[in-house]
Amino acid sequence: MNLPVPDAAALASAAEIVYRAMAPTPQYAWPLLSFRLGAEVWVKHENHTQTGAFKLRGGLVYFESLLRQMPDCPGVISATRGNHGQSVGFAARRAGIAATIVVPYGNSREKNAAMRGLGVDLIEYGEDFQAAREHAAALADERGLHMIPSYHADLVRGVATYWQELFQAVPDLDVVFVPIGMGSGICAAVAARAALGVRTRIVGVVSTEAPAYALSFEAGRVVEAPTTTQLADGMACRSPDATALKIICSGVSEIVRVSDEEIANAMRIYFSDTHNAAEGAGAAALAAALQQQSQLRGQKIGLSLSGGNVDRDVFAAVLSRDGA
């Protein structure tokens, strides 16, 4: 089946855009993680971007395309739980465009502060991401702003550059684990795998408290589900994107569900074994690999540490618990 994902030329073009603003991030095979899992474990450190998450890449490519199509863009608006909003804020500031971001009430204080630090007009609305997104769309119509979606082909093209880096550095990975929020990260993995011709199996990861993509994957159609996760805000999707779901259903082997408790344990392990801070969604891939540890022995696996933007008080509470 032909998937609507970027080819090698499109990825090369995206990489050129991304690398004007940031350097490639590292991928390391951490000895303690490998010993713990009984496998060769490679971690892709998207927590090392300027905004602390992989989303930055997509924002840079999206704005490059936006400015070609709308050179007089009056301003942009989007909704987020934090990392997408930082990406929009970073790219909008580089482009000299005003950005408005809508977040739900109770959103991460430190992610909110980071977005304000990038110059965005931050609005709090609604009890979850879906409500914030619907409000952002209404404000876009009311104020004549360009609405940036959470999932878009240009976002995927930008994000795919990190998978290109990983697959080029370690082309013989048996499997990669990828957290799923709105879908750009895992669809980018599918795109890069196809463009580079590698045979790595792709496994998606969702929160047991935000199972919409897992339910949709199993049903083969969009299924909405409530989100109650307290730790993995970057995975708190209530309504999956239909285009992303088609790509996931065609290119992903399975979707694993991990609990907040498993995610917290993975956050502690990342810190003890690598001294990297991982936010909840950023630690989900490791949580899934730990859940499947017996199946992975002797394999070469890749983990997306997709972001490290965890509030200090949350991280302190996680680290203080027993485990790992």
- 137-185 pLDDT, tens digit per residue, is 999 999 999 999 999 999 999 999 999 999 999 999 999 999 999 999 9
Give me the chain's average pLDDT, please: 96
Can you tell me which residue has the tokens 């999932």? 151
Q: Is the pLDDT at 12 greater than 60, yes or no?
A: yes
Name the nearest CA neighbour of 282 among 47, 7, 6, 5.
Answer: 47
| Helix (H/G/I), strand (E/B), else coil: 33 | helix
Residue 33 clears pLDDT 50, i.e. is over it: yes
Return the pLDDT at 324: 60
- Work out whether the CA dihedral 104, 110, 116, 120 comes out positive or negative: negative
Tell me the C-alpha to C-alpha distance, in Å, between residue 13 and each of 148, 170, 263: 21, 21, 35
- Is the pLDDT score of 299 beyond 80? yes
- Listed in order, strand segments (DSSP E) in the chain are 27-29, 40-45, 76-79, 99-103, 121-124, 146-147, 175-179, 201-207, 254-258, 300-305
Side-chain-side CA neighbours of 63 within 13 Å: the count stands at 26
pTM of the predicted structure, to 2 decimals:
0.95
Which residues, 6+ apart, have CB-to-CB distance to 126 below 8 Å? 102, 104, 105, 132, 134, 135
pLDDT for residue 1 is more than 60: no
Round to whole Å and give the CA distance between 229 and 23.
Answer: 33
C-beta separation of 58 from 184 below 8 A:
yes
5 pLDDT band, cuts 50/70/90, is: low
Angle between the N-to-C axes of helices 83-95 and 55-69, in degrees from 0 to 180, rounded to the nearest 10: 40
**pLDDT grade for 2, boundaries at 50, 70 and 90:** very low
Question: Which pLDDT does position 3 carry in this prediction?
Answer: 47
Distance CA 197, CA 273 (A): 32
| Rounded distance between C-alpha atoms, residue 209 and residue 200, angstroms | 28
Burial of 115 by CB count in 10 Å (0-12 exposed, 13-18 middle, 19+ buried)?
buried
For residue 7, report the phi and psi dihedrals to the nearest 5 degrees: -95, -175
Q: Is the pLDDT of residue 306 over 70?
A: yes
C-alpha atoms less than 13 angstroms from C-alpha of 271 in its C-beta half-sphere: 18
| pLDDT of the residue at 6 | 76
Residue type at 227 in one-letter notation: T
Q: Is the pLDDT of residue 208 over 70?
A: yes
SS3 for 72? coil
- H/E element holding 293? helix 293-296
How far apart are alpha carbons 17 and 150 in whole angstroms? Answer: 20
Query: Which stretch of DSSP H or E encloses residue 191?
Result: helix 184-196
The rounded Cα 69 to chain-centroid distance in angstroms is 26
Note whether 81 and 310 are within 8 A (CB).
no
Q: Which domains does the chain have, with CATH numbers?
A: 8-53+153-320 (3.40.50.1100), 55-147 (3.40.50.1100)
